[in-house]
Structures are given as structure tokens and as C-alpha cells.
């Protein structure tokens, strides 16, 4: 079995020069031995730009019957940039349908994933993030009767349980002078380092097993 990942920076694979930056798709294979992971996720992409740049065409050329297609976007769909921006209840959902319908056309099984949440705290309380996009993914899954892994809800549960300080270790919160690629450090509550990537890859793997897709 092969798993194709269509998504953004939170799922993407990165070179060692950018360590410890790690997307969950980069380490998913650690939890699914014997499964080939084809990670097409790319930083900065929304459903709109992933399609318009021809990135999905590469997936269509390779995917075949029995493969899984994991579809996870949202972080860039809310961008103000016209070439990335989508409306959660309009173009965003329509783009998700393109991924889903195309996967089925080739005999593959589409799986919709809500995005990982942003680690955003106010008065020590984890805040909601990414607007209406997570709910739009859930609705799209119901409309097309597609398996859904609610990574957004599960990631919020994980961060809430870990707490504000402990959850720092999952994200790109780096002290200055520790990592060569980040001499000034980093304060990033969206992207994960290896521990966070593994945590979210584990959620995805558990979701696939729970759906009996693996």
C-alpha cells in the first residue's frame, strides 16, 4: 500500500539544514511499517495554489487503485494573498471535492484531515485557531461521505492536556545559538519540530487504524 499526502508545511518533509523543523508526513512511516509514504505536501500551499501550480497533477499521474490519499489544508487558505486565499464555505470546499473525486476516479481512497491547531494561548488558555476551515473540512467529509481524521480536535486535546509550557517542546520554539539554521532562535507556534511531528503523525496513524484503512 502507498499513502499519498497532499497538504501544506505542517505535513511537508524538510532537509537536515532546516532541522529541527519536521512535518508530520515526514515521519508518518515510522508508525506504519511496510507502507510507502509519498509525501507531496509543500510549504506555503493552500488548496488553491496546490492545484494551480500543478502539484496535484503529479499525484494523479502516480496514484493507483488501493492507495490512500490524505488531504490536509487550511493554514494557507486563509491567507490574504489572492493566489492562495479561499473561502471556507465556497472555493475551499470545492477544492477539497476535487481532491476527493479525483482520488476515487483513480480507485484510491481519499481521507480528509482537519489541520493541526496553532499553539495559541491567552491567559494560559488554548485558543481556537484557523477560523471556520476545520469545520468546513468536517462538513465536506459528510457531504462526500469521506473518512475523516479530526486532527484539529485531537491536537487541541493533546495541547490542553500537556499545558502551555510543556507544549512548547512540540513546536518550533527554539533558543538562540542552539540550531545552526536558526542562530537567532525561533518563536513559531504553527510548525513542529521532531517531537511534535511524531506526536501528530501518531494521531494520523491511529486515525487510519481506527478507520480500518490500514
How many angstroms separate the CA atoms of 126 and 119, rounded? 7
Domains of the chain with CATH codes: 2-210 (3.40.50.1110)
* Phi and psi torsions of 143, nearest 5°: -65, -45
* Phi and psi torsions of 38, nearest 5°: -110, 95
Greatest Cα-to-Cα distance within the chain, rounded to the nearest angstrom: 50
Q: Tell me the per-residue pLDDT of 139-177, one tens digit each, with 9 for 90 and over.
A: 999 999 999 999 999 999 999 999 999 999 999 999 999
Matching residue, cell 487504524:
209
Closest by CA position to 43, among listed 174, 184, 190, 180: 190
**pLDDT reported for residue 70:** 98
Q: Tell me the per-residue pLDDT of 187-208, one tens digit each, with 9 for 90 and over.
A: 999 999 999 999 999 999 999 9
User: Hey, is 39 helix, strand or coil?
Assistant: strand
Q: Tell me the per-residue pLDDT of 12-25, one tens digit each, with 9 for 90 and over.
A: 999 999 999 999 99
- DSSP character at residue 54: T
CA distances to 67, 141, 154 from 4, in Å: 7, 18, 21
Which positions ≥6 away from 146 have C-beta within 8 Å?
100, 110, 111, 112, 140
**pLDDT reported for residue 128:** 97
Amino acid at each position: 500500500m502507498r499513502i499519498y499526502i497532499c497538504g501544506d508545511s505542517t505535513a511537508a518533509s524538510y532537509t537536515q539544514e532546516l532541522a529541527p523543523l519536521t512535518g508530520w508526513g515526514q515521519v508518518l512511516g515510522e508508525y506504519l511499517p511496510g507502507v510507502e509514504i509519498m509525501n507531496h505536501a509543500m510549504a506555503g500551499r493552500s488548496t488553491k495554489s496546490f492545484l494551480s501550480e500543478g502539484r496535484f497533477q503529479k499525484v494523479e499521474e502516480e496514484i493507483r487503485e488501493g492507495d490512500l490519499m490524505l488531504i490536509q489544508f487550511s493554514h494557507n487558505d486563509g491567507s490574504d494573498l489572492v493566489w492562495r486565499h479561499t473561502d471556507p464555505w465556497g472555493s475551499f470546499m470545492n477544492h477539497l471535492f476535487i481532491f476527493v473525486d479525483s482520488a476515487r476516479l483513480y480507485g484510491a481512497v481519499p481521507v480528509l484531515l482537519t489541520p493541526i491547531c496553532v499553539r495559541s494561548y491567552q491567559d494560559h488558555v488554548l485558543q481556537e485557531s484557523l477560523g471556520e476551515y476545520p469545520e468546513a473540512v468536517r462538513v465536506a467529509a459528510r457531504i462526500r461521505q469521506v473518512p475523516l481524521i479530526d486532527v484539529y480536535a485531537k491536537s487541541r486535546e493533546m495541547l490542553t492536556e500537556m499545558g502551555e509550557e510543556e507544549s512548547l517542546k512540540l513546536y518550533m520554539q527554539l533558543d538562540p545559538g542552539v540550531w545552526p539554521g536558526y542562530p537567532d532562535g525561533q518563536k513559531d507556534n504553527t510548525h513542529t519540530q521532531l517531537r511534535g511531528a511524531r506526536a501528530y503523525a501518531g494521531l494520523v496513524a491511529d486515525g487510519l487504524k481506527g478507520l480500518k484503512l490500514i
